[in-house]
Structure 1
């Protein structure tokens, strides 16, 4: 089990705005402009949040023209869920 990678994801999602961003992009790829419309912070702040999520490995970005589009890395989310289940596996 890679505890360093797991803790990086946990740190990334331990912030309420980033959790809300993850919830938004869980339904599919979103443009930064779409995400920003739902928050009361600046574009540089959004860029910071997205960098943290990308660096944790659970979000990916692509650029099309001047826009950035973000989506979940489903395989990483699945791995994260599996690892969390292993850690919190309760014996009956």
Structure 2
């Protein structure tokens, strides 16, 4: 499947998906519905913090596409509870998924969420 055929799952009928299930038109082509705007604003707000943006990048670039919380605390000059809070914000915004495995929690980036943000910000005239 090419990037232009990427299907975004888990979206509602607020104008963020057409009948084929393909993600929204870019922001400049079609106005957002209320519910879609709330969901997207939550994602952008989560990414507006430098620590959360770096966490998302660390998770996405980690070998195997997922990272243990134990691997995410070292690169920051904040406490482990603060890292946990930021991870919770990313999870609640729908940007990362998580799973507890024994003592540790593992995180991965949700590709559909990134595709949704990317598609929304696509420049006018750019191909999908």
Report if TM-score (shorter chain) is over 0.5: yes
1:55 deviates by 0.6
Long gaps (5+) in structure 2: 1-31
Counterpart of 2:124 (choices 86, 89, 92) is 89
Kindly indicate whether residue 58 of structure 2 is the aligned counterpart of residue 21 of structure 1.
no
Runs of 4 or more, structure 1, over 6 Å off, are: none
1:41 deviates by 1.2
1:37 deviates by 1.0
1:13 deviates by 0.3
Give RMSD over aligned pairs.
1.2
Q: Report the structure, 1 or 2, having the larger helix content.
A: 1
Question: Under a length normalisation based on structure 2, what TM-score does the superposition of the two structures give?
Answer: 0.65
Q: How many residues align?
A: 88
Q: 2-side partners of 1:46 and 1:89: how far apart?
A: 37
Counterpart of 1:56 (choices 56, 73, 93) is 93
- Partner in structure 1 of residue 113 of structure 2: 76
1:84 deviates by 2.0
Counterpart of 1:65 (choices 89, 92, 102) is 102
- Partner in structure 2 of residue 41 of structure 1: 78
Structure with the greater alpha carbon radius of gyration: 2
Q: Please identify, of 34-43 and 6-15, the stretch whose mean Cα deviation from structure 2 is larger.
A: 34-43
Question: Under a length normalisation based on structure 1, what TM-score does the superposition of the two structures give?
Answer: 0.89
Long gaps (5+) in structure 1: none
Deviation digits for residues 3-39 of structure 1 (CA, Å, limit 9, x no counterpart): 1111000100000011111111112201111010111
